[in-house]
């Protein structure tokens, strides 16, 4: 992996997106005074400032930007400088409406909004490169500009563009991937409906039709779109480097449990630090678990480096149905959750709540009410706590012996075209495993299928619809050498081209599992299948027969009566489990049986309400204990809480809603597997 520049802050980063252009300069002075009061050490500047920096084509107004950079710099606040390409100026759209993206109906979007550009359009690329270059030339050597932030949430508004420029770029992309059009015809199975292509020029972006589309074409268009966005990142990064920038360059990813807009696993080598934005959903009563899943997944993208939560919210989020504030203490827990899972800081959208514009009802570090507010006091309290945690900067999340495989491309493949069940959120299978394994103290890692599986005692493959041959081989190899694997329902159904692996489901794993699935059996609304243990399945099961596996549980009643539902097969030194459907009631017991079979030993003092996560380094280990519940708890721990200064001698009292970060006793750490 070649990193131009190492991200290694001296202390945990604390701050947020800062938009001084929305306020008179008198407010800037109050801003920096408040930043100092809270211990803010970095702000992201310029994300949406293009139209105020390049006020007309190649006419520049740098004065105000110089002034704010000087002010921040004089106060010792670092700057994460953004290229402002997420929001092109109005004049650019007036002069070049051809850069606006086109939707799948072939309709061009209009000026305004943001991310209103096609990454494949040469005119867009010219302007984007120029603004990045100008910024790099002007501020690249500034000592306070310690990192760079390319654009903002690439794909969050322009995930797929169907314009003529995109179509041309898609053809080039296909030619690079397949070399010959016959290879496309074969990969996409275009014999179906006789959609045979004669040459690459016959292919277009998958514009809408009333009838269904070819799922392999849709999947390749998603892959192309992800690469086009990565191309945008590279174009801007290269412009910055050419202009002399030597500090770390990144962009803020949107890692989503239901499938991200890009295949981030393939972006990682380009990023000097993996940075994400994450927003909890107020209506989700266990939103802290979704946060933990995303944080674990982010860490799993590159476990060898700390990452960074570039944006999260202090409180209410205007784009949600009910724009509810976070409960007192929740922001602090959320920030420390991210840090627990390996973020080297906690940054927010945004510093000061806007008075005008599309996001005027979004929370911020400084709310509309100003600094005499609960929100501000909590921000100051968070800053105080972060300052006590500086010693863990640079440490990493502890590697788990349990891995859950999750893949954006597989999720896209599931969503592309017609499937056995359309309303089933396939990604929830992974979430369910994560929640139970976390609460059991196994601290699972959520990783892409391409990650290193060696040394994992348990590998969970939940609804991993698309798997490549390489992943199949890697899983089989670790199982033979002693790991336990669980293949969930709907896993291994298609190959990398989204072609069914025929001969019985799940085609990719059939031989290893010693089962043949003859039919997928989606259930109707409210229908439940009973298993011999009393557990229940909903949404889907399968008509299975065993060829070499032992039957662990059978269906009871209905069309599948007596047929296998859960199987296990000894494979080499390991074991391969298969679950034919989605288990509802009884799932926790099933997890216990499988983790017992895998010989897993609880590593962390977690429970339903207590999230326990460990960071490790050559200098020590830190145990984060987060009480998400409403009752006080006593948790096993040994060491000193960096936040309260209290010592934990085998037990630590953790009040409801509170967080502790225990620097663990060294003699304990030495005996613990890291
Ligand atoms: C993010 C975005 C920010 C802001 C925020 C509001 O997705 O990057 O600029 O819009 O959402 O929640």
Count of other CB atoms within 10 angstroms of residue 112: 10
Return d(Cα 647, Cα 149) in angstroms, integer.
40
Is-above-0.85 flag for pTM? yes
Nearest to 632 by CA among 605, 606, 610: 610
**Cα atoms found within 13 Å of the Cα of residue 320, Cβ hemisphere only:** 17
Residue of 240, 244, 301, 245 whose CA lies nearest to 275: 301
- List the structure tokens of 499: 């072609």
Lowest mean pLDDT across 3-7, 108-112, 666-670: 666-670
Asked whether the predicted pLDDT for residue 603 surpasses 80, the reply is yes
DSSP 518-562: EEEEEPPTT-EEEETTS-EEESEEEEEEESSPEEEEEEESSTTTT
Cβ-defined contacts of 263-268 (< 8 Å, 24+): 263/223, 263/226, 263/408, 263/409, 264/301, 264/408, 265/301, 265/407, 265/408, 265/448, 265/450, 266/226, 266/227, 266/230, 267/230, 267/233, 268/301, 268/302
Nearest CA to ligand 1 atom 4: 349
Confidence band, pLDDT 50/70/90 cuts, at residue 6: confident
pLDDT band at 598 (very low <50, low <70, confident <90, very high): very high
Q: How far apart are CA 12 and CA 346, in angstroms?
A: 8
| Distance in angstroms (rounded) separating the CA atoms of residues 113 and 326 | 27
The Cα 277–Cα 257 span in angstroms is 13
DSSP per-residue letters across 33-59: HHHHHHT--EEEE-TT-HHHHEEETTE
Q: Residue 190 half-sphere exposure, CB side, CA atoms within 13 Å?
A: 16
**Ligand 1 neighbour 152 (Cβ under 6 A):** yes
Give the per-residue pLDDT at 424. Answer: 81
pLDDT digits (tens, 9 = 90+) for 169-223: 999 999 999 999 999 999 999 999 999 999 999 999 999 999 999 999 999 999 9
Strand blocks (E) in 313-379:
343-348
Instruction: Check whether 3 has a pLDDT greater than 90.
Output: no
Query: How far apart, in whole angstroms, are the C-alpha atoms of residue 674 and residue 615?
Result: 10
What's the chain's average pLDDT? 96
In this prediction, residue 355 has a pLDDT band, given cuts at 50, 70 and 90, of: very high
Q: Is the pLDDT of residue 45 over 60?
A: yes
Residue 143 has pLDDT above 70, yes or no: yes
Q: Mean of the pLDDT values across residues 98-122?
A: 97
Q: What is the number of other CB atoms lying within 10 angstroms of the CB of residue 519? A: 14
State in Å: Cα 89 to ligand 1 middle: 18
- Residue whose Cα lies nearest atom 10 of ligand 1: it is 359
How far is the C-alpha of 446 from the C-alpha of 293, rounded, in Å? Answer: 7
pLDDT band, very low/low/confident/very high, at 668 (cuts 50, 70, 90): low
CA distance 433 to 431: 5
Is residue 332's pLDDT more than 50? yes
552 alpha-carbon distance from chain centroid:
35
Structure tokens at 43: 């702000």
Instruction: Quote the pLDDT of residue 673.
Output: 40
Query: What percentage of the chain reaches a pLDDT higher than 90?
Result: 96
Q: From the CA of 19, how far away is ligand 1's center (Å)?
A: 13
Q: Are 616 and 398 in contact (CB under 8 A)?
A: yes
Annotated domain spans of the chain:
402-597, 610-664
CA 319 / ligand 1 centre spacing (Å): 9
The Cα–Cα gap between 453 and 438 comes to 19
Using a 6 Å cutoff on CB, does residue 348 contact ligand 1? no
H-helix or E-strand containing 332? helix 330-340
**pLDDT value for 184:** 98
Instruction: Give CATH for domain 402-597.
Output: 3.40.50.880
Q: Which atom of ligand 1 is nearest to the CA of 152?
A: 8
Secondary structure (3-state) at 391: helix
Q: Which of 309, 312, 314, 359 to mutate to test the pocket of ligand 1 (most atoms within 8 A of CB)?
A: 359
- CA 279, CA 334: separation in Å to the nearest integer? 10
Q: How far is the CA of 312 from the centre of ligand 1 (A)?
A: 9
Using CA positions, which residue lies closest to atom 3 of ligand 1? 349
- Tabulate helix, strand, coil % of the chain (nearest 5): 30, 20, 45
Ligand 1 centroid from CA 350, angstroms: 9
ω before 350 within 30° of 0 (cis)? yes
DSSP three-state, residue 475: helix
Q: Write the residue with the smallest CA distance to atom 5 of ligand 1.
A: 349
Active-site residue flag, 359: no
| Residue with the two structure tokens 């999260």 | 312
Question: Within 13 Å, how many C-alpha atoms sit on residue 468's CB side?
Answer: 10
Q: What is the pLDDT of residue 379?
A: 98
Tokens of 355: 């008075």
**Protein residue closest via CA to atom 12 of ligand 1:** 317
Phi/psi-derived region of residue 571, left when phi > 0, alpha when psi is between -120 and 50, beta in every other case: beta
**Distance in angstroms (rounded) separating the CA atoms of residues 61 and 131:** 12
> What pLDDT shows up at residue 1?
40
**C-beta of residue 660 within 8 angstroms of C-beta of residue 654:** yes
Distance between the two ends of the chain, CA-based, in angstroms?
Answer: 23
Ligand 1 centre to CA of 17 (Å) is: 9
Angle, vertex CA 181, rays to CA 175 and CA 184, nearest 5 = 85
The pLDDT assigned to 667 comes to 56
Nearest atom, ligand 1, residue 358 CA: 10
Q: Is 311 a catalytic residue?
A: yes
Question: How far is 63 from 621, CA to CA, in rounded Å?
Answer: 47
Residue in 54, 236, 288, 311 annotated catalytic: 311
pLDDT value of position 674: 37
> Hey, is 183 helix, strand or coil?
helix
Q: Exposed, middle or buried by CB within 10 Å (0-12, 13-18, 19+), for 283?
A: exposed
CA-CA-CA-CA dihedral for 409, 220, 263, 401, to nearest 10: 30
Query: What stretch of H or E contains 436?
Result: helix 428-439
Each residue's pLDDT tens digit, 507-527? 999 999 999 999 999 999 999
Both tokens of residue 111?
Answer: 């000026």
The 10s digit of each residue's pLDDT in 249-291 is: 999 999 999 999 999 999 999 999 999 999 999 999 999 999 9
Cβ contacts of 248 within 8 Å, gap of 6 or more: 4, 5, 6, 7, 146, 147, 148, 272, 273
Q: What is the mean pLDDT of residues 358-377?
A: 98
Give the CATH class of 610-664. mainly beta
The Cα 268–Cα 270 span in angstroms is 5
356 half-sphere exposure, CB direction, 13 A CA radius: 4
């Amino acid at each position: 992996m070649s990193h131009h520049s190492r991200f290694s802050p001296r202390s945990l980063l604390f701050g947020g997106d800062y938009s001084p252009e929305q306020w008179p300069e008198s407010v800037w002075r109050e801003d920096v005074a408040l930043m100092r009061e809270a211990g803010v050490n970095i702000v992201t500047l310029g994300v949406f400032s293009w139209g105020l920096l390049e006020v007309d084509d190649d006419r520049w107004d740098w004065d105000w930007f110089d002034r704010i950079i000087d002010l921040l710099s004089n106060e010792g606040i670092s700057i994460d400088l953004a290229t402002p390409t997420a929001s092109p100026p109005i004049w650019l759209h007036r002069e070049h409406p051809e850069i606006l993206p086109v939707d799948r109906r072939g309709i061009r979007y209009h000026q305004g909004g943001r991310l209103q550009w096609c990454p494949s359009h040469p005119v867009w690329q010219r302007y984007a490169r120029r603004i990045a270059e100008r910024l790099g030339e002007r501020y690249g050597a500034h000592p306070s500009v310690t990192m760079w932030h390319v654009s903002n949430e690439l794909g969050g508004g322009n995930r797929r563009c169907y314009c003529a420029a995109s179509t041309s770029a898609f053809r080039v992309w296909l030619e690079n991937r397949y070399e010959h059009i016959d290879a496309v015809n074969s990969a996409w199975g275009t014999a179906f409906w006789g959609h045979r292509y004669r040459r690459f020029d016959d292919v277009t972006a998958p514009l809408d039709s009333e009838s269904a589309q070819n799922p392999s074409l849709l999947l390749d268009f998603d892959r192309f779109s992800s690469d086009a966005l990565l191309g945008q990142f590279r174009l801007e990064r290269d412009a910055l480097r050419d202009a002399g920038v030597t500090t770390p360059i990144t962009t803020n990813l949107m890692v989503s449990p239901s499938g991200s807009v890009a295949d981030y696993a393939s972006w990682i080598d380009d990023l000097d630090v993996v940075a994400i934005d994450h927003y909890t959903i107020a209506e989700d009563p266990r939103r802290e678990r979704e946060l933990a899943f995303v944080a674990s997944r982010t860490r799993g993208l590159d476990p060898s480096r700390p990452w960074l939560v570039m944006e999260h919210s202090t409180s209410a989020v205007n784009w949600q149905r009910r724009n509810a504030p976070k409960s007192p203490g929740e922001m602090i827990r959320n920030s420390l959750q991210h840090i627990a899972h390996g973020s080297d800081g906690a940054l927010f959208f945004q510093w000061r709540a806007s008075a005008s514009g599309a996001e005027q009802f979004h929370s911020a570090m400084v709310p509309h009410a100003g600094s005499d507010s609960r929100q501000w006091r909590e921000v100051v309290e968070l800053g105080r706590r972060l300052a006590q945690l500086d010693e863990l900067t640079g440490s990493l999340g502890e590697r788990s012996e349990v891995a859950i495989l999750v893949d954006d491309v597989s999720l896209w493949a599931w969503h592309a075209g017609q499937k056995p069940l359309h309303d089933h959120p396939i990604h929830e299978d992974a979430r369910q495993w994560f929640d139970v394994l976390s609460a059991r103290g196994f601290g699972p890692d959520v990783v892409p299928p391409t990650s290193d599986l060696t040394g994992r005692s348990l590998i969970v493959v939940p609804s991993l619809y698309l798997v490549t041959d390489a992943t199949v081989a890697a899983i089989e190899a670790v199982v033979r050498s002693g790991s336990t694997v669980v293949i969930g329902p709907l896993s291994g159904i298609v190959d990398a081209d989204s072609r069914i692996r025929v001969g019985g489901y799940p085609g990719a794993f059939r031989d290893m599992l010693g089962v043949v699935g003859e039919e997928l059996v989606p259930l109707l609304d409210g229908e439940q299948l009973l298993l011999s243990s009393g557990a229940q399945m909903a949404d889907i099961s399968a008509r299975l027969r065993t060829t070499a596996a032992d039957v662990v549980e059978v269906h009871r009643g209905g069309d599948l009566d007596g047929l296998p539902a859960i199987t296990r097969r000894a494979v080499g030194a390991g074991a391969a489990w298969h679950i034919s459907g989605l288990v509802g009631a009884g799932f926790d017991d099933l997890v216990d049986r499988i983790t017992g079979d895998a010989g897993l030993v609880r590593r962390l003092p977690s429970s339903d309400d207590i999230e326990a996560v460990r960071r490790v380094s050559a200098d020590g280990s830190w145990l984060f204990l987060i009480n998400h519940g409403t009752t006080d708890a006593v948790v096993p721990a040994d060491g000193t809480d960096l936040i309260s200064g209290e010592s934990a001698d085998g037990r630590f009292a953790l009040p409801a809603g509170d967080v502790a970060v225990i620097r663990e006793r060294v003699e304990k750490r030495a005996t613990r597997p890291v």
